[in-house]
Chain A
């Protein structure tokens, strides 16, 4: 039953990323929480989602550029992690799940390109159609339906593959909690730092960024 709900929800995550309604349900933070929630552990989903959000932060979906689809991959990875029985405190498995999501988002990104090519065929019928109105509605609905199916398939297949990989290789992974946490911290700090380019980069925003770092350090000292 959970897998069916995951597929249904996955379809909406896939739709949300480009097609409808772009309400950011497809952000890794939200999608991973959803994936975890469906298998009964939203906290683990959210924790993986926060990591993936930072690792994905710098990716901008601009125009016709090809980009990895992080939402469906995050939902799949979170569902897989929770399905294996791991929790957010299981840092080595959290690292493996995050890495799986970074790989799966590339596969999901390829399906986006495929979907766009399929849409080309749908809209190709419009010029020759007897009724342009009917042809436009038909092409648009078919495209939305296809994208929903694509999203559902990405999340479902991703969650199954992720679950299999985590079960197979998870017990073999020889990393202690501290090392796995350190790897995540180093990777996430690099990509969070890269995010400054979204806001104008070092030259433009160094003062505000520096004040932010000081505030962050104060928060750590105060804790």
Chain B
């Protein structure tokens, strides 16, 4: 591996926060990946502008990953670039593309983020000040967010081509299980509070609470499919209310 100064690695890490900035249906995050990698490529190919240009072009091609674990691929490519054949690097990127996407989706989008959000919503419903809940959420969530990015870069730099082995030995499943358990518990705590009108500080009667309980059960049974019918039902009630108002 070419010795890459810390400043170039830090610059790459910071640029990785915008890796999805040029997301498109043709190369997905390819352009953002190349943009993030530029500081490192400039160091590796400082004496060879032709290879530098070719490397930038290669990395601007199709690539995808969960944004928070993109530094893992960036770190691994830093190790491989200038040492391995470009075809090997391309195969490596193709190989990790799917797993990096699913890793982030499982741990962050369906784990860490909803757990932090539920904690913030619960805090507000239990009487916490909006500033405490909102700022607390942003701080807590982003501590995890930045940690994942830094950890990913370190793993990529340490293991290079072998990041797959490292990921297999990482306690991903256990962590996912813990986050899902915490999420299900927090969701359970929230449900009765929401059903009894805490979101609007309304003292609801039993018919409303019973209706909310049935709706909650339907939500549990049918998942995200209930979202559109629920929106239409809300719209129907509001439209009816407006029509009554117009009629008066």
Instruction: Tell me the residues in window 26-77 of chain B with beta carbons closer than 8 Å to chain A beta carbons.
Output: 26-28, 30-32, 34-35, 38, 52-54, 56-57, 60, 64, 67-68
Q: Give the residues in chain A near B138, CB-CB below 8 Å.
A: 23-25, 30
Contacts of B130 in A (CB 8 A): 33, 42-43, 45-47
Q: Is A120 within 8 A of B38, CB to CB? A: no
Contacts A30-B138, A192-B190 given: A120-B248 contact, CB under 8 Å?
no
CA distance A95 to B32 in the complex (A): 40
Decide if A144 touches B181 in the complex (CB within 8 Å): no
Chain A, residue nearest B237 (CB): A183
| Interface set, chain B 195-248, CB cutoff 8 A to A | 195-197, 199-205, 208-209, 211-213, 215-227, 230-231, 233-235, 237-238, 241-242, 244-246, 248
A22 at the interface (CB under 8 A from B): yes
Contact of B31 among A61, A140, A197 (CB under 8 A): A140
Beyond A132-B56, A191-B230, A204-B180, is A211–B188 a contact (Cβ under 8 Å)? yes
B190 to chain A, nearest CB (A): 6
The distance from the CB of B109 to the nearest CB of chain A, in whole angstroms, is 6
A30-B138, A62-B109, A172-B242 as given contacts; A139 in contact with B216, CB under 8 Å = no
Count contacts on A: residues with CB < 8 A to the other chain. Answer: 109
- Let me know if B124 is at the binding interface, CB within 8 A: yes
Quick check: A198 and B22 within 8 Å, CB to CB?
A: no
CB of B135 to closest CB in A, whole Å = 9
The minimal Cβ–Cβ distance linking B183 to chain A, given in whole angstroms, is: 4
**B154 on the interface (CB 8 Å rule)?**
no
| Chain A interface helix/strand/loop/mixed | helix
- Among B137, B187, B245, the one with the most A-chain Cβ atoms within 10 Å of its Cβ is B187
Q: Is the CB of A185 within 8 A of B117?
A: no
Residues of chain A lying within 8 A (CB to CB) of residue B134: 29-30, 33, 46, 49
Q: Are B202 and A182 in contact (CB under 8 A)?
A: yes
* Interface pair B215/A119, CB less than 8 Å apart: no
A119 to B142, CA, bound (A): 27
On whether A212 and B202 interact (CB within 8 A), knowing A126-B60, A147-B21, A187-B233, the answer reads: no
Q: Which one, B53, B120, B185, B235, contacts A212 given CB within 8 A?
A: B185
**B94 CB to closest chain A CB, in angstroms?**
16
Of residues 131 to 178 in A, which have CB atoms within 8 Å of B's CB atoms?
131-133, 135-137, 139-140, 142-144, 147, 169, 171-175, 177-178
Interface mask (B116-128 → A, CB under 8 Å = 1, otherwise 0):
0110110011100
Most buried by B among A23, A98, A194: A194
- Top 6 closest A-B pairs, CB basis? A212-B188, A193-B219, A181-B202, A172-B245, A46-B130, A205-B184
> Can you report 30 residue pairs joining A to B where beta carbons are below 8 Å apart?
A19-B23, A22-B67, A24-B137, A24-B142, A29-B121, A51-B199, A54-B199, A55-B230, A64-B28, A116-B25, A120-B24, A131-B53, A133-B38, A143-B22, A144-B18, A171-B245, A172-B242, A173-B238, A174-B244, A183-B237, A185-B200, A185-B209, A189-B216, A191-B230, A196-B219, A199-B114, A199-B181, A216-B192, A216-B193, A219-B189
Q: B-contacting residues of A (Cβ < 8 Å)?
A: 18-25, 27, 29-30, 33, 42-43, 45-47, 49-51, 53-55, 57-64, 88-89, 91-92, 94-96, 98-99, 102-103, 116-117, 119-120, 122-124, 126-127, 131-133, 135-137, 139-140, 142-144, 147, 169, 171-175, 177-202, 204-205, 208-217, 219-220
Taking A189-B212, A213-B191 as known contacts, 19 extra A-B pairs with beta carbons closer than 8 A to each other, sorted by chain A number, are A20-B18, A22-B67, A24-B141, A50-B121, A123-B24, A126-B60, A132-B34, A171-B245, A173-B241, A181-B208, A182-B208, A184-B199, A185-B196, A185-B212, A187-B231, A190-B218, A192-B216, A216-B191, A217-B192
